[in-house]
Amino acid sequence: MHKYKWTKFTILLLVTGCLTACSKPAEDERSAAETVQQPAVSEQSTDSFKLDDIPLSKAQLGAFPFIGMPQGYEVYKPQHSALEIVPYWTGASIEQIEGKVYSTGIRPLQGQQGSFDAIQRSIESYITSVGGLRLTKSQIPLEWVKGFDKDYLSNFYEGIGGIYEYPVHTYVIRQPERTVWVQLTQNNTDSAGLLVSESAALQHTAAVQDAFPFIQLPKHYQYRGQKTAENENVPVWNGNTWQLLSGRLFSAGIEPKQKEQGSALEMTRYFQTAMQNLGAQKVSEMHIAAENLSPEMKKFMEDHYYATAGLYSAPLHVYVLDKDGQKVWFQYAAGSQGSVGLWVLAEKQLDTLAMSAAKLKEQLDENNKVNIQVNFDSNKALILDSSKTQLAEVTALMKQDPALKLHIYGHTDSTGQAQQNLTLSNARAQAVVNALIAQGIAAERLDAQGFGDQKPVASNADEAGKALNRRVELVKQS
């Protein structure tokens, strides 16, 4: 554990315009630099950073990234990202800022001389003129720098500058509708790295659809290497191991139509919101080590390169949706360099074979109990139409034997909390009782009870076992 204090500040993305220049003639630059005396610079105490303590600015900033180049300087290797998390040093802690990012190196124009001090004075002059405030001019502890995300250090290399050797200048412009963070770091005697992040409150939204594969892309994204197949065998990660399931497959890479208009993080947020909107349940979010890739998964990766390109370097997000009794699996990985992949599998829907009234009677006479398959909506007590035939057979049995009385017992698998499973199994057992009463069976011949996941008949370690444990049990009353 580091002895320094870490805090986290996360605000969502506001999409604005593109780069604007605030360049001035050389005379103006020199004048501004000469008038910015060090004691006049507003600086926040770094002992206890609080964003709300920074005065609000109402200045018109123009288009993102707001800061242009001083006269005689140019950007090199600039990069835009629609949404990233960037660490900013306050002098005492790291603030993880989520939002739009601009990264660039700054150097003199060819044939001209320059200095970092001139760059710093010009940029600081602009920031203070629009109501910004300097948080710190200090070096980030080296042990912290070494702990920064490798993708961040690689993707924004030019904008990060010489943070291993030089102090960073961190600024904040706080406005009612957004907060702008600026980091300026010396690179060489005449060059610098510049990072600008804009964060603003905005609710993430995601479009979903009723038709397979159920997710709609944002308008500024597109699929790459899209494939669809029927009756495909697909590896699915259940949190512990790979299962080979069969069904309808959709796979594709996902990329922004223009690089500066998107990011892997933005698409990850979109995917998570889409899963919430669909009502899908999270199964797993974890890095899959190369040694844990099954032979089937390695083959799948060869055949579906774009859909799985991020798997080696990023967590695999796995969700499952119960769609009218059919399981739909969503697997998503957003890797380095913006590589994003998705594959969706709608499992083959096996026809539920209803046990006849005669077979039910035979089982009850022999064992005093029988398990039947009743399909419910996901996490609900709503009986699906696919179970009507089975309930009709139970109704027929009870009408054929007016003396028969039954306990209706509900059981779940181990997914979720034990108390939630108990409540759900009670509700489902009662739903079966209500369905039989609606078909003319007297209420006094039936009672309902749920046992949750307390009485499994198979292992809950895989989906096959879980399917057996999700059941309705008919038991003869004494």
- Express each pLDDT in 231-267 by its tens digit: 788 999 988 888 888 889 999 999 888 776 678 888 8
Last residue of one domain, picked from the residues 315, 347, 379: 347
Residue 105's closest CA among 140, 146, 154, 156? 156
Residues 277 and 383 in one domain: no
Residue 1 placed within a domain: no
Does 154 lie in the same domain as 48?
A: yes
Residue 15 lies in a domain: no
Of 321, 347, 373, which one is at a domain's C-terminal end?
Answer: 347
Q: Are residues 413 and 465 in the same domain?
A: yes
Q: Which domain holds residue 362?
A: 357-476
DSSP state of 457: S
Task: List, for residues 422-441, the tens digit of each pLDDT value.
Answer: 999 999 999 999 999 999 99
- pLDDT, tens digit (0-9, with 9 covering 90-100), for 366-415: 999 999 988 887 778 998 877 888 999 999 999 999 999 999 999 999 98
**6 inside domain:** no
**Average pLDDT score over the chain:** 85
DSSP annotation of 140 reads P
Regarding whether 236 and 181 lie in a shared domain, the answer is no
Does residue 392 share a domain with residue 292?
Answer: no
72 close to 114: Cβ distance less than 8 angstroms: yes
Q: Identify the CA nearest to 115 among candidates 34, 192, 36, 29.
A: 192
Greatest Cα pair distance, the chain, in angstroms, is: 103
Structure tokens at 337: 């360099």
> Where is pLDDT greater, at 213 or 3?
213
Residue 476 pairs with which residues in a beta bridge? 406
Contacts of 299 (CB under 8 A, 6+ apart): none
Strand ranges across the sheet with 168-175: 73-89, 94-108, 191-199, 178-188, 168-175, 133-138
348, pLDDT greater than 80: no
The answer to whether residue 250 is domain-embedded is yes
Cα gap 132→121, rounded to integer Å: 14
Which H or E element spans position 188? strand 178-188
Number of compact structural domains in the chain: 3
Shared-domain flag, residues 171 and 260: no
- Residue 151 CB neighbour total at 10 angstroms: 16
Which residue's structure tokens are 């605000």? 11
Residue 269, in any domain of the structure: yes
Q: What is the mean pLDDT of residues 274-303?
A: 91
Do the beta carbons of residue 92 and residue 187 sit within 8 Å?
no
- In a domain, residue 280? The reply is yes
For residue 429, the domain's CATH number is 3.30.1330.60
Q: In terms of domains, do 368 and 330 share one?
A: no
* HEC sequence for 9-50: CCCCCCCCCCCCCCCCCHHHHHHHHHHCCHHHCCECCCCCCC
* Residues 261, 182 share a domain: no
Neighbours of 273 (CB within 10 A): 16
Average pLDDT of 261-274? 85
Q: How much is the pTM?
A: 0.53
Tokens of 200: 């603003």
> Taking each helix axis from N to C terminus, what angle separates 26-35 and 116-129, rounded to the nearest 10 degrees?
80
Looking at the fold, whether 154 and 243 belong to one and the same domain comes out as: no
Both 33 and 133 in one domain: the answer is yes
Helix (H, G, I), strand (E, B) or coil at 183: strand
Q: Considering only CA atoms, which of 399, 375, 401 is closest in space to residue 388?
A: 375
CB 316 within 8 A of CB 333: yes
Same domain, 282 and 163: no
Q: Do both 428 and 308 map to the same domain? A: no
Residue 332 lies in a domain: yes
469 φ/ψ angles, rounded to the nearest 5 degrees:
-75, -25
Residue 103 lies in a domain: yes
SS3 296: helix
pLDDT at 385: 77
| Residues in a beta bridge with 255 | 222
Which residue, of 317, 347, 377, is where some domain finishes? 347
Ramachandran category for residue 44: left, alpha or beta (phi over 0 → left; psi -120 to 50 → alpha)? beta
